[in-house]
Amino acid sequence: MEPGNRKIRVVVADDSWTALRAVCSYLEFEGQFEIVGTARDGLGVLKQAEHFRPDFVLTDLSMPRITGLEVAAQLRESYPELRILTFTELNGLSLRAACLRAGADGLVEKSQMPERLMEEVRRIFRE
């Protein structure tokens, strides 16, 4: 799953400080990831991605200033090779389809984390 022998460089975004810390802690615990940046809104995600050029962005869908869908679309246009996962408290196949159309590689429901998150990460780094 790792590109080469280095850790996967990640930017994580969520407007909830509690959720942001929980996701970062989980990824750090996995040992395969290096959190290079965090953001609390969509504009912050775009700035962090431009500055750090991560391998992977994990972004909440419901964020202030720019939504996760808009973030995914802009990141996909600017960085075609970037892996992007969205996550949300909402559920539904139509939401997953909207994320994929916007440019994300997948969607994870917060209620299914952390198990589903790692399944999705493995899947997108195999592709």
How far apart (Å, rounded) are the C-alpha atoms in residues 105 and 125? 10
CA atoms within 13 A on the CB side of 42: 16
pLDDT at position 94, please?
73
Q: What tens digit of pLDDT does each residue of 57-91 get?
A: 999 999 888 999 999 999 999 999 999 999 988 76
**For 115, phi and psi rounded to 5 degrees?**
-55, -50
Asked whether the beta carbons of 112 and 89 are under 8 A apart, the reply is no
Distance of CA 97 to CAs 35, 41, 70, 110, 116, Å? 27, 22, 14, 17, 17
**Nearest to residue 27, comparing CAs of 124, 117, 125, 106?**
117
**What pTM was estimated for this model as a whole?**
0.90
Q: What tens digit of pLDDT does each residue of 43-65 get?
A: 999 999 999 999 999 999 998 88
